[in-house]
Structure 1
């Protein structure tokens, strides 16, 4: 499997001829420095963890341009359908769907999910993390935006992820110390990739504190260059 980070929490997974985007926040993302056309080329599925604009991002436009199926919670998905989304795979927390060659499970995240329309808040379902499993590939857990919570231990026991994308930016998600605590306390990962940092000035700008907090632990910390695929 190859994993490409596009800044903030946007990722692309490539495996066995399949290309999947997670939280494709490109337009308006100060950390997005990649070629958008290359980032979406061949994408068949888009996974969205929750309804905030820095995660929904370019989902609608990408779905129109590529014909990709969008997988997210029911409430957010139906809101996207009302805006023109044609291919929607509805889910909710705890559910698993087979997308042909891989499965997606939505799991709990401690955060919020919504948008503001005409000055009024709009509820867009529960925030989630996503677990992606494909035969012969390491199980991937994108935590979405979340705080640490003890049921991460259940996620680890049920799904045994080997690669995790972990938010570390603080203020809206875990900071470096709590993210490192979560990884060390609950998971037996081969590698962890920090995210949700280095985009907006209000959150942490580098992964340095997280890397330092993980020093000496068996889990490999990957801090990828934006737009450059890494093999896991």
Structure 2
């Protein structure tokens, strides 16, 4: 069905037939070049860039169910952690060798720049089939170079979840270590679960600062409230270290 799509608190997203139109920016040509690059390297479950129409980018529509908040109970199944971790590994590996010398990014690059990070790889940016299995990922406009664990930590933060106030029906902190270690095992990472928590703290503080900037830039004061929540969760997780 054509019309605005739910989610996306920092962008205007509209479906038109089998395409998606999103607000473009100076980073859009880089993101499109990156999407074409990973497609050549075997990623057939990300949107295809179709061009830029005035101030909007045009992408192929990825069919499937993208969950919105409050997240449905099936999002907390272990299979989501397994599928997500495996797909994230494939996504990262497919980005190796991407030329960044003339690239412009919306998100700042991080060190070490091992791969191109999605920077928002979480259930709300994943498309699922009717059985709750992941079909693909969307919303690549925030991608930029960074360490693999940067994406792993954010995926864990959203999918485990790692928060001071888990939503109703979500696993609690007593299951966090097992769920993080499941992500790491399926990804093939030698990081520890505490490494993930440490980076998650940094990631949340970074996201809070970014949200404050965007609140002023986009005239969306509600993003300041989100920044407060990110800082709260960062301080909570810091207590685990």
TM-score, normalised by the number of residues in structure 2 = 0.30
Q: Which one has a larger percent helix, Structure 1 or Structure 2? A: 2
Q: Which of these two proteins has the greater Rg computed from alpha carbons?
A: 2
Bigger share in strand: 1
